[in-house]
Structure 1
Amino acid sequence: MRFQHIKEPEKLGSYSEEDVVFLLKDISNHINEQDNEQREKIIQNGGHYSEMLPIEYFPNEEYMDIFYKTLQDSKEKVARAVAQVGELIFKEKGEETVIVSLARAGTPIGILIKRYLKFKYKMNIPHYSISIIRGKGIDVNAVKYILNHHNEEGIQFVDGWTGKGAINGVLKEALDEFQKKYGIKISDKLAVLADPAYCVELYGTREDFLIPSACLNSTVSGLISRTVLRADLISDNDFHGAKFYREWLERDLSNLFIDAISKIFPSIHIEMSKLCTIDKNVYNQGIKEVKEIKDKYNIGDINLIKPGVGETTRVLLRRVPWKILINDVDNPNLKHILILAKDKQVPVEIYKNMTYSCCGLIKSKIRGNMD
């Protein structure tokens, strides 16, 4: 089946088109950011997060020092995780592989997987980045565009990490609906760099460690905002939208991050025999722990609980946190979390009963100032 009336993508973001093609509509001149307090009030009164953009947080010098040090200290670990998940993907999809990363956290990881497979197998794997939104689903026009150019069997969805595992459910539901409507089955098996929620089969590691690209916002994600889906901005034939922060090109670290990890690939060796021994069982441990936190802290909405280093960082950068739970004050993965929490005057509490390194609890209108 060939889908009609699908638009061609426009050049977007600071990455090379050799690395990724964004299937997103540029809405840079049509949307303004709102501060976290405004957005939180709207969200908790029925508004949807995808209809707004947060004001991007620019870290201070101390925080940026942690980003650079984390990148230096963890680049081999990240490269090894990229190699493992890349090999698992290639083992399943082979030469038909088409990487479809979930914007925006999945984008740098998708680029790294593409670069690893090019280094290892001398193949230029196609890579697209598309929008998926909790509560609204996947960008159907973007999926149609990919299917106009590639076989569905090769499509591999990629994200940065798992939090509660919620995006798994969104992806599965969206692809089920797509199959019912168009008769095309696409695998909903998600691949991630880090799976601390123990909820996917294809992963680079299950350790909840600090992926350097989780530290920052657009300046490590191709200068692309979160994706937006709003009726006055996105028509029926459009891709989901995003803002391109062209004015920040001089502050952009997106390609620096990609290049730093890619340089490690020649020194990484993955024993193919060990790939067969990787635990692919799905335990969904993360959601069990989140439910325990929900009960312990009497939190009414599970969506106000954001576990893992990546999700907690997001909470501190663009939501209004009530409290941050950490497993160990000396955990090296949490230095930037502690700086952000101090900067935003968010209380931090030791909570040992979780496999995650940390967890962000978002302030609710019901909870108010319980502290």
Structure 2
Amino acid sequence: MSFSGSYREGEVEFLLTPLPLQDFVDVADKEYLIQSGQRHYSEMLSPEVLPSQRYLDVFRQACAANNDRMARDCLTLAALIAARRDGAITVVSLARAGTPVGVVLTRLLNGVLERQAHHYSVSIIRDRGIDSNALAYILAQGHAAASLVFVDGWTGKGVIAAELRSTIATFNASHGTAIDGGLYVLSDLAGTAACAASCDDYLIPSSILNATVSGLVSRSILNASIGPGQFHGCVVYQQFAAHDQSQAFADAIVAAAEAQLSAGEGMQAAPSDQARAAAVSRAYMQAALRQHGIDDVNLVKPGIGEATRVLLRRTPRLLIVRDGGARDVAHLLLLAQEKQVPMLVDGALPYHAVSLIRSALDA
């Protein structure tokens, strides 16, 4: 089964299995189960809540400040994709942070670059891999393996980029295909993507919200309720429909991109400095583990996008920002205030923000 969520028909096909609103797990309980090894994070979901009015105001401010930057990077990434694919293009976004980006890229490929493009959004889960049933479904629809392009919003430490490469290699070996397992992103902080518009840590506005900017779809789920032949699962938050920003946000980014082209700005496809980004990422992670006495690399989340995810749906231990007055971290300061999370300002931080997850195993 495929569905379009709250997007217009044809803008995306979510290859996910909608599950009933049940069996939610409290955030603290979920954290303990994950960190103790009793449950994998993909088996559980904590309920989402609508953002406060103050937080929505910060989202709107982020859109006003950074929609143009995101639109420019979407134009750049669309041009890079078009240059690397012949014929029709199959955009495969990684649900759910990749979904808004995939919607915009597909519209730019079709409408601006005049390339035939179709968009699917599929699940990929750390340590579990990409949804092979979804990949098989895409190929069964007649899309050539060489046409697939995997899209996400950003890289943090590069875990998902590595997961994608590994599981696509396994899929190719078992299915006799030659799908490119490289990841295409707007911002490649880890220097691990196959292709990126930039390596800058900036506030991608869609990273601020959860389901209400991603088609009303939850993070993907893979537990006992998913049968062998089914797509990975999700919850559809239809009750949030009146508050949904998904379609309006995508429309705004596309409009900004078209305005830039009309103004003669054109598409910039200069290569980003991924080697430097990778070196910075490795050095920072090693230093952060030592400085904060952390053994588990999964408890350190670098970059604005990852830091936001921690404050929205994990149990944060500490928020670190490079500049407490920077516009791009205003939403993080608000979340930290609302959740009473300590904050540290570190002027030497190579990113705008980093969040540390509290160890649920500490006494």
TM-score for the superposition, normalised by structure 2: 0.94
Partner residue in 1 for 2:78: 86
CA drift at 1:184: 1.2
C-alpha distance in 1 between matches for 2:274 and 2:53: 42
Equivalent of residue 287 in structure 1, options 278, 282, 286: 282
For 2:147, give the aligned amino acid.
Answer: G
2:227 matched to 1:235?
A: yes
C-alpha distance in 1 between matches for 2:350 and 2:181: 25
- Structure 1 vs Structure 2 CA RMSD: 1.6
CA deviation digits over 1:16-61, x for unaligned, max 9? Answer: 23110011111134x3322211111111111111011122132221
C-alpha distance in 2 between matches for 1:201 and 1:194: 11
2:29 matched to 1:38?
A: yes
Describe the SS at the equivalent of 1:247. Answer: helix
Q: Confirm or deny: 8 A CA contact 1:115 1:262 kept in the other structure.
A: yes
The answer to which of 136-145 and 58-67 deviates more is 58-67
For 2:28, give the aligned amino acid.
Answer: E
For 2:340, give the aligned amino acid.
Answer: Q
2:214 matched to 1:214?
A: no
Equivalent of residue 310 in structure 2, options 311, 315, 321: 315
Partner residue in 2 for 1:353: 348
Change in 2 beyond 3 A, CA 1:279/1:61? closer
Equivalent of residue 271 in structure 2, options 251, 273, 278: 278
Q: Confirm or deny: 8 A CA contact 1:97 1:154 kept in the other structure.
A: yes
Describe the SS at the equivalent of 2:25. Answer: coil
C-alpha distance in 2 between matches for 1:134 and 1:39: 16
Q: Confirm or deny: 8 A CA contact 1:324 1:358 kept in the other structure.
A: yes
CA deviation digits over 1:120-168, x for unaligned, max 9? Answer: 1234411000000001111000010111121111110000111111101
TM-score for the superposition, normalised by structure 1: 0.92
C-alpha distance in 1 between matches for 2:322 and 2:159: 22
Partner residue in 2 for 1:52: 44
Q: Confirm or deny: 8 A CA contact 1:195 1:207 kept in the other structure.
A: yes
Q: Confirm or deny: 8 A CA contact 1:153 1:187 kept in the other structure.
A: yes
Equivalent of residue 55 in structure 2, options 32, 55, 63: 63
C-alpha distance in 2 between matches for 1:186 and 1:352: 42
C-alpha distance in 1 between matches for 2:321 and 2:362: 20
Equivalent of residue 306 in structure 1, options 296, 301, 305: 301
C-alpha distance in 2 between matches for 1:182 and 1:201: 22
C-alpha distance in 2 between matches for 1:300 and 1:55: 29
Q: Confirm or deny: 8 A CA contact 1:15 1:255 kept in the other structure.
A: yes
Equivalent of residue 177 in structure 2, options 184, 194, 203: 184
For 2:183, give the aligned amino acid.
Answer: L
Describe the SS at the equivalent of 1:85. Answer: helix
Partner residue in 1 for 2:151: 158
CA drift at 1:81: 0.6
Partner residue in 1 for 2:192: 199
CA drift at 1:186: 1.1
Describe the SS at the equivalent of 1:361. Answer: strand
CA drift at 1:177: 1.0
Q: Note the residue ranges of structure 1 that are not aligned, 5 or more in a row.
A: 1-8
CA deviation digits over 1:241-293, x for unaligned, max 9? Answer: 01111111111111111111111122224656x52x42364341323312210
Percentage of matched positions with identical amino acids: 37
1:245-260, aligned counterparts within 5 Å?
A: 245-260=237-252
Partner residue in 2 for 1:6: none
